[in-house]
């Protein structure tokens, strides 16, 4: 789901809640949220209202620990007018152990779910990344997306969309128990099977 004010507004109007990822293209808000957490780190959150949570998992020879920190909107009051229903800002620090390498990254989120339900926010973020990681693994391993040498922005985006469409067609097919890679080979060598995938 795109992080847009209109989408956040529509979600609230429909009586639901949102947890939206903040990326660097939201320059002003991203910088504000990052700075709040960095300042809070320096003071060790002394006299601040906040919640913390941590999770870890092991998958595909990779160990990852995620540290969640949640702050209420009282630390970012002016943005409440811009983002309907905004209640909580979140930082997720990921520490990945891949072989002998350790990678650290930070992701930021905004949510209409209140601070008292911080575990629900963490669960929503985990489920989102579980889906994203599974999709990325299939696109990379079965469809060799990372090996693609297309660099033109429009072409790369178009091919990414086509790969996801093809992946969806292959996953929908229940006529064989083969994996995605073998289904691709079958479709390449058997025009009847290819037509069946497209028409179904």
Q: Is residue 186 part of a domain?
A: yes
Q: Is residue 41 part of a domain?
A: yes
Query: Which residue has tokens 């992946």?
Result: 167
Full-prediction pTM beyond 0.75? Answer: no
pLDDT tens per residue, the chain (200 residues)? 567 888 889 899 999 999 998 888 788 899 999 999 999 999 999 999 999 999 887 765 678 889 999 999 999 888 878 899 999 999 999 898 877 888 899 999 999 999 999 999 999 988 876 656 566 666 666 666 666 667 666 776 777 777 778 777 887 888 877 777 788 888 888 888 888 888 87
Query: Which residue has tokens 């990052």?
Result: 34
Q: Is residue 51 part of a domain?
A: yes
Residues 43 and 101 in one domain: yes
Residues 10 and 92 in one domain: yes
Does an H or E element contain 183, and which? helix 180-189
Can you tell me the distance from the alpha carbon of 187 to that of 200, in angstroms, rounded to the nearest whole number?
14
Q: Is residue 63 part of a domain?
A: yes
Paired tokens of 135? 């999709």
Note whether 67 and 92 are within 8 A (CB): yes
Domain count, the chain: 2
Paired tokens of 117? 């339900």
């Amino acid at each position: 789901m795109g992080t847009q004010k209109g989408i956040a507004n529509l979600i609230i109007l429909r009586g639901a809640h949102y947890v939206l990822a903040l990326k660097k293209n939201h320059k002003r808000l991203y910088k504000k949220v990052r700075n709040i957490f960095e300042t809070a780190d320096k003071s060790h959150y002394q006299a601040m209202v906040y919640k913390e949570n941590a999770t870890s998992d092991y998958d595909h020879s990779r160990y990852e620990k995620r540290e969640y920190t949640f702050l209420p909107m009282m630390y970012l009051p002016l943005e409440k007018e811009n983002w309907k229903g905004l209640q909580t800002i979140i930082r997720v620090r990921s520490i990945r152990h891949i072989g002998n390498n350790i990678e650290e990254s930070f992701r930021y989120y905004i949510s209409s779910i209140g601070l008292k339900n911080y575990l629900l926010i963490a669960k929503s973020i985990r489920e989102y990344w579980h889906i994203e990681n599974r999709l990325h693994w299939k696109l990379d391993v079965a469809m060799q997306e990372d090996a693609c040498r297309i660099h033109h922005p429009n072409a790369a985006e178009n091919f990414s969309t086509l790969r996801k469409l093809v992946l969806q067609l292959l996953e929908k097919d229940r006529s064989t128990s083969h994996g995605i890679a073998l289904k691709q080979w079958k479709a390449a060598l058997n025009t009847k099977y290819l037509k069946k995938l497209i028409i179904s």
